[in-house]
Amino acid sequence: MGSAFPRASPSSSRRPSSRAIMSEFTSPGDSESMLARFEGLARKRRATRHFSQQPLERKLIERLLLTAQWAPSGYNLQPTRFVVVADPRIRSRIRRACMNQQPVKEAPLVIVFAGDHRAFDRFPETLEADLAGGAITAEYAGFLRKMVPLMFRQGPLGLNWFWKATLIPLARLFVPIPQIMAVDKRFWLAKQVMLCAMNFMLAAEASGLGTVPMEGFDAGRLRRVLDLPRSWEPILVVPVGYAKQGPAKKTRLPLERVILWR
């Protein structure tokens, strides 16, 4: 890992306690002002095209990534992984994998948001943690122990994949069946990872940093340059830093063009 930022003390990566988080949300009268602040934040976030070279504190980045981790995930499997690239030599190599996009060169830090195809391996761990924390009942845990492996397991040599991919669409003609992760793994991973990435970008905005989400990259090359574990799939590249210039004006489609009420 590069040396662009000072090492944080171990305590900086500790999650804030639930009590500390909840104390910020105790007054119901706060909801209007919280919403107004959140609206302002969401509207202010723009894709940053030019970054200053000002280095970033490792402590701050860890804090933002902890916030990213609070994004929801299917069955709380938390498949998002972060690859934090500060080393300018690695950044210049990944820039090529990112179609030479300028922000990858300019930003002092690039974070690759990846999805772990093996997230299901941690299912017993996350399930027990949720059970111990009182987040789920023993009855629901029992249901998940049966259901989740059915959704994710591909069996030896991926052989279960075959019947899941062929028989389930047939069964779906007769009964409702949700998306099966063992079949649509990349789609499933992309959904989960993007939620974390959005949390990260909003938290970064709140801290005065700019970001730009990027899908313009060659995943195979990126994977090789970063020497990623085999099961980690790059989903989004996000250069991060202080913006060099004000945000460009952007528009959004009128709400009535993108909404259906039923």
How near is the Cβ of 100 to ligand FMN at its closest, in Å?
A: 11
Binding site for ligand FMN (CB under 6 A): 46-47, 101, 212-216, 250
- Nearer Cβ to ligand FMN (60/193): 193
CA 239/CA 102 separation, integer angstroms: 10
- Nearer Cβ to ligand FMN (40/216): 216
CA 97/CA 86 separation, integer angstroms: 16
> How far apart are the two ends of the chain, measured CA to CA in Å?
51
How near is the Cβ of 215 to ligand FMN at its closest, in Å?
A: 4
CA 238/CA 120 separation, integer angstroms: 25
- Nearer Cβ to ligand FMN (121/215): 215
Which ranges constitute the DSSP H helices of the chain?
Answer: 18-22, 30-44, 58-69, 88-97, 102-106, 123-132, 138-152, 159-171, 185-206, 219-226, 255-258
DSSP state for residue 120 in the 8-state scheme: G
- How many other C-beta atoms can be found within 10 angstroms of the C-beta atom of residue 112? 26
Query: Do the Cβ atoms of 237 and 98 come closer than 8 Å?
Result: yes
**Single-letter amino acid, residue 52:** S
How near is the Cβ of 105 to ligand FMN at its closest, in Å?
A: 13
- Nearer Cβ to ligand FMN (7/43): 43
- Nearer Cβ to ligand FMN (182/243): 243
Which residue number places its CB atom closest to ligand FMN? 216
